[in-house]
Structure 1
Amino acid sequence: MTKIEEVETNVDERWKAQRLAQKLDGEIQQLKVALGELDTVKPKKTTYSKKANVFFLEKRDVIVKTKKNELKDKEKERYDVGLQLRNSK
């Protein structure tokens, strides 16, 4: 009986990790698209950025820096989830 419970728990954890990986992949793609769009904006121009359902005017350079940091954090988290999935086999 305990082996069945262990397998079910392992499958459940693996499923959660796979869903998290898919979610992170989507967020990473969105950040890459946003950075691509910001590349077309002139460096000193102000641009709207959304924070907690409110839009703020900020300089493009500030937004790019923030988005790059966000992207780096998401990619690191995705790498960790990938390692977790690989080790759970």
Structure 2
Amino acid sequence: MLTEKEIIKIANDYVTSLEDEVGETLIAPEELMIKKPYGIYFIYHSKIYYETKNSIYKLLGSAPFLVENKTGKIIEFGTAHNLEFYIKEYESGRYPR
């Protein structure tokens, strides 16, 4: 079982790996994490949007993701629904398909 610190590192490494594709510095703020017994859900934003809250810098298509604490596996979710929908789908065993 991974520690919270190890899970956060996996999440931050994942978000950093997306920066070249997105063309922005990205962050997954710890205050937006949702902790569950099986892992932690993360939401990421461009750093400039998070710091300024100016919607001109808001990313489109930045899907939330889960890092499972048993394996460190990253589960990416979609953007069609809110995060609560994906949490319920994951917890019911319907996601990922």
TM-score (norm 1): 0.25
Q: More strand per residue: 1 or 2?
A: 2
- Relative contact order, higher structure (CA 8 A, sep 6+): 1
TM-score (norm 2): 0.24
